[in-house]
Chain A
Amino acid sequence: MSAQKDCEFLVKRARELVSDDPCAAKAWLITARTLYPADFNIQYEMYIIERNAERTSSAGRLLYDMFINFPDQPIVWREISVITAALRSDSQDKHAQFLRGLFETLPGRVQCEMLLKATEQCFNTLEKAEMLLLLLKRFPESVVQHGVNLGETLLEAEASENVETPVNCFRKLFVCDVLPLVINNMDMRLPASLMQKYMLKAAEFYIGYVTRGPSPDVQIQGSQDGGSLKSPSVSRGSQRYVIDGLSEKSSVVAEPWERLLDILAVVGARCEWQGDKGQRSYVDMLQRVKELCRYLPGLEGDTRSRCCSQIVICAALVLFRSAFLYVSAVQPALFQGVNALSLGPWILVEDLSSVYNDVEVERGPVKHAHKKRKLADGREKTMGQYRKALSSLHQMAAVQQPQTGQQSPSGQASLEHHRALIQQASCHYALGEYRMACEKLLDVVGGLVPPNQEPTKTPEDQGRIKTKTRKGNDLRLLPCTSKAVLPFCLQLMLACFKLRAFTDSRDDLSLGHVVVLLQHDWPQGEMLFLKAVEKICQQGSFQYENFFNYVTNIDMLEEFAYLRTPEGGRIQLELLPNQGMLIKNPSPALGVELNTLLLQGVQTMDRHHTVTRGITKGVKEDFRLAMERQVSRCGENLFSVLHRFCINEKIIIIQSLP
């Protein structure tokens, strides 16, 4: 009793003094400790003074004494748990740093013991694991004893907590922290099956991590709904990502593919895989797999099965990585952490670089029968793939349908959701379904904003397009921007109408569309234009009422003006809109040439045949005026003109295809 009172008195005196004269307070406590060395409160008071003053070494010394002399004091354990919490956190505040420094002053043996005991007292699996991990990292010799157990505990926790994704806190600790310690510890013998299991756990985590979807601005808690793709309003600026249970900092996994490769290299070496010890890159790995496949038939027994697992695992990883790289290039917004700002998304479409080539060249030389069959077989296969692609694209378009109200004001985001439509158009085109192709395409074009001016092409660009002769179906990646999509749409439409326009039967409407479309990329299409002119000359007449609405190309206008002259062959051109009206209300001013032109050219519309010279004269005058006015329109933005063409003539365009 009395001893207790003495101690209380001594501590009380120290407390009274500590603020005014800390030296005196300490002198009291030193004295007190020599009187009652077994009293905990005296030593705790000494520790508190040093700790509050953040004197690392003296506080460390006193903590050490308390840990040794009073291992069962709850207050000591509270203190130790505060310190170990600071060790686990990545807080940079001064007090946390002091606590970490304090821990560093303790002898290694004590640190080890403290962490182990703190681990024992921890009931939260994650905290316990983090604590044990601190121990394993500091004391590599403890890995042998605790490493595999810790790993298994984490995997069990993952299973029992019903987490939805491999990207969770338990797996993160297991793969990024525990696994490297375990597999790099050569004092441990690990069965190959266990290591392969761990390898797959790692692969699952890293692949899940790199392919995680963008998070809504708040944070997604590591879980992703498999089906639903992200809404268009997802902001790509804030790429914060937090794995549930971890801090933001420890949720970051640097260079996942490289880390996976590191693990693979160690596992490979320990499982006695073939090939050099360090797999340097995924490319090397693929090369190695190729070589192994050649040896495989000659192998048997264990060697064979070992080799098989190596091939399967390596090939799978190469596949996943390549698929990831492709998708992240084509659709960067799909994944978080892929730098979507530098490069926009891309669309995989038919390569139409030879659209301006002659129709005959494209049809190709006559082939031998067996070659034709072979080609036909190949074609059949390709067609099948296009069908499959189309069905996936339909599904994709369905989920990507922008929800009303969520439409982003910038055309870019909405354009991304037309990707599927563009690709469908491209597929329909490849399958020869031109009407469907144009239908999809014109849906897209409606939402595009025409670029301000035609892109200035580099000479190499033109050269490449010209010299390339295509065989079979080439695909190319198109940037998903209005600037790139509109030209592609125009080319695809041209491709759809080209064959129709130049068939032997007469189809002035298709030919007219072709002429309009050939203006784009002029003079790339000069050769085809001349072919069109040739066809018109052969027909002796040409009717296309939209001509003056959409043809502003000066070369073309000149050519058409020339066609009407005697030198040009006095071709009868019915190019003015509302000419049907004129014909219905005949004017005596109309010239005789145009009369004939009208009579011969008008095939489809309801018309009257009573035409006089006066009427034709008026028509002639209108044509001249229209031409003059048209010349003044030459400076108009061609993309705007063609965009208008697509929107206004949508129905006619679609209807004019079978």
Chain B
Amino acid sequence: MGDIRQSLLPRDVLSAAKELLYHLDIYICNLVQSGRQPPQVDSKTLELVEEFILHAPKDRNTPARRMSALQELQLLEIMCSCFQEQSRDTVRQLMFSALFSLQGNQADESRMALLGKLVSMAIAVGRVPILECAATWLQRTHRVYCVRLAQVLVDDYCSMVPGSVPTLQNIHSASPRFCCQFITAVTTLYDLTSEELTPPLELLQMIASWIQDDPRLVLITFLNTPLSGSQPISSLDVTPLGGLVRWCVKAPLAYRRDKKLALTNGTTESEPEVGPLFSALHLSILQVFMLLPNILNEKGLFGRLALLQMESLATLTSDLSRLLDQADKHTHTSSTDTHTLSQLTLDRLAQALQVAMANGALLCSREDLRAICSRLPHNNLLQLVLSGPVMYYNNIHTPPLAFSPHAAHSPIASHPTPHPAHTPHTPLATHPSSHPQYPAQPFMTGMPFPFRPSY
């Protein structure tokens, strides 16, 4: 394909790009036809893409060709219809990666810029094939770039053009896979550490309503991905659950800080309370956890795959202890209010930990939990969760339940980041709907236990 360069050079930027896309399409079709495994686009072709579509300078001597805004729009349009018309999935995917897979070179900046514009446009005009390719891209690309793409989309739809959120809302029905990856990217992006890293309210409302309407949405990528261990290092989590838990747990503290700022700035915001929104979102997440046992069992992964990462939870708890410390020290508002919000944060943390653990999303022992929560202030529910349920359950209606011996599987982390501190995990008991079993507890009955809640 390298030989077409000479014919492209004399053309104007737009028609050269067009011509290259045309040839790329033919080239990839032939590639797929030939059946060579794996089909791989050669480096010469990738160079042509960089030169004639991304307009990265080939070397210092040749000046970069530039496109006008109008030409760029025309090119995006051509690309949109090019993906739309290509009926074969593999061809589309190869084409998309030929154009947008990051190569670790100078061209990546313009690659990201073009990708952002293309996906934004695909959302606006409902080009499902592009969203599907973008979803795959979001799975394979380093999270830093995924977050950058998400930022572009949030800027376009939530900040730049007021009232365009409903357009973004449509991605839920257009491409649930893309939607799921978008949520993961957004929750990774906004970690509520500063005002900038707090999601816009509209975005928050949209995500909450998506998940409320269809809790399985957050599991789409997980459900559609064969667990091959081929997940690239540092890609996004396979589900947005970790990010969402972080949002809900930190929200009472983060938004209190915002409120305080608003008060000191004298701006009276008429925005609705975020409280109920996070309350509903938190409930949705717990409901998603409850879907997991069946799904994990079907995949034969129960007790082997942790959808919540222990180390990210550790980060969360240490963040929390710092924030709660600060809140205690710098509190200017009523201290009961501060106390209530701190307790809400800890309640949610306890609930998320317990429900995730009981449903096989979190693979650890209560001992491990006690370790990461040791620096947090007192909370009754958290104490209860950390100590675990009392084993001799004294209920006249319920016969004592037997422990089922559980075969220990070697755990597979959904994320290949090594995690030596917590392997091997204590296997967790399964919890299918009507045969409740208790998670194994590492402590003895009848022994006084310091973690019992005081209520």
Contact = CB atoms under 8 A, between A and B. Distances in A.
A27 B397 contact: no
A23 B280 contact: yes
B214 to A, nearest CB: 14
Given A3-B395, A4-B395, A6-B390, A35 B453 contact: no
Nearest to B277: A23
Interface string B340-365: 00000001101100110111000000
Contact of A38 (B350, B355, B358, B401): B401
Contacts of A2: 390, 452
B110 interface: no
B431 A3 contact: no
A40 B395 contact: yes
A4 B401 contact: no
Nearest to B354: A31
A27 B393 contact: no
Interface in B392-437: 392-395, 397-398, 401, 431, 433-434, 436-437
A295 interface: no
B282 A23 contact: yes
Contacts of A35: 354, 358, 384-385, 388-389
B276 interface: yes
Nearest to B391: A3
Contacts of A37: 431, 436-438
B173 to A, nearest CB: 22
B101 interface: no
A31 B455 contact: no
A1 B394 contact: yes
Contacts of A10: 381, 384
Given A27-B286, A30-B290, A21 B351 contact: no
A326 interface: no
B395 A6 contact: no
A643 B270 CA distance: 92
Contact of A31 (B350, B401, B438): B350
Nearest to A74: B397
B294 interface: no
A639 B381 CA distance: 99
A443 interface: no
Contact of A30 (B287, B357, B385, B455): B287
B209 interface: no
A38 B354 contact: no
A30 B351 contact: yes
Contact of A21 (B279, B290, B389, B401): B279
A28 interface: yes
A45 to B, nearest CB: 15
B393 A36 contact: yes
A469 interface: no
A49 to B, nearest CB: 12
B290 A73 contact: no
B359 A34 contact: yes
Contact of B279 (A24, A36, A70, A73): A24
B204 interface: no
A34 B431 contact: yes
B433 A65 contact: yes
A40 B398 contact: yes
B394 A4 contact: yes
Interface in A36-78: 36-40, 65, 68-70, 72-73
Contacts of B395: 3-4, 38-40
A9 interface: yes
Contacts of B287: 30
A63 B38 CA distance: 53
B380 interface: yes
B46 interface: no
A9 B438 CA distance: 19
Nearest to B283: A23
Contacts of A28: 347, 351, 381
A146 interface: no
B283 to A, nearest CB: 4
Given A3-B393, A30-B286, A23 B279 contact: yes
A28 B352 CA distance: 10
A100 interface: no
A332 B354 CA distance: 76
Nearest to B348: A27
Contacts of B392: 3
A28 B276 CA distance: 15
Interface string A403-439: 0000000000000000000000000000000000000
A26 interface: yes
Contacts of A3: 389-390, 392-395
Given A6-B389, A9-B380, A31-B381, A65 B434 contact: yes
B133 to A, nearest CB: 36
Contacts of B401: 38
B179 to A, nearest CB: 22
Contacts of B351: 27-28, 30-31
A72 B381 CA distance: 30
A9 B453 CA distance: 10
Contact of B397 (A23, A65, A68, A70): A70
B432 to A, nearest CB: 11
Nearest to A30: B286
A38 B381 contact: no
B248 to A, nearest CB: 9
Given A38-B401, A65-B433, A68-B434, A30 B394 contact: no
Contacts of A30: 283, 286-287, 290, 351, 355
Contacts of B453: 6, 9
Contacts of B398: 38-40
Interface in B252-309: 275-276, 279-280, 282-283, 286-287, 290
Contacts of B279: 21, 23-24, 27
Contact of A34 (B283, B355, B380, B397): B355
B296 to A, nearest CB: 15
Contacts of B275: 21
Contacts of B355: 30-31, 34
A70 B434 CA distance: 11
A36 B286 CA distance: 16
A365 B399 CA distance: 105
A171 to B, nearest CB: 42
A364 to B, nearest CB: 95
Interface in B30-51: none
A39 B437 CA distance: 12
A74 to B, nearest CB: 10
A40 B30 CA distance: 65
A72 B398 CA distance: 10
Contacts of B347: 24, 28
A72 B397 contact: yes
Task: Give the most central of A2, A9, A70: most B CB within 10 Å.
Answer: A2
A394 B220 CA distance: 91
B286 A31 contact: yes
B354 A27 contact: no
A72 B286 CA distance: 29
A332 B170 CA distance: 69
B349 to A, nearest CB: 11
Contact of A6 (B283, B286, B384): B384
28 contacts: A3-B395, A4-B394, A6-B390, A9-B455, A10-B381, A10-B384, A21-B276, A24-B279, A24-B282, A24-B283, A27-B279, A28-B347, A28-B381, A30-B283, A30-B286, A30-B351, A31-B351, A34-B355, A34-B359, A34-B431, A35-B354, A35-B385, A37-B436, A38-B393, A65-B434, A68-B434, A70-B397, A73-B397
Given A3-B395, A30-B286, A72-B397, 20 more contacts: A2-B390, A9-B453, A9-B455, A21-B276, A24-B282, A24-B347, A26-B283, A27-B279, A27-B282, A27-B283, A30-B283, A30-B351, A30-B355, A34-B354, A34-B358, A35-B358, A36-B393, A40-B395, A40-B397, A65-B434
**Which 9 A-B residue pairings sit nearest by Cβ, starting from the closest?**
A37-B436, A34-B358, A3-B390, A38-B398, A23-B279, A23-B283, A31-B351, A2-B390, A35-B389
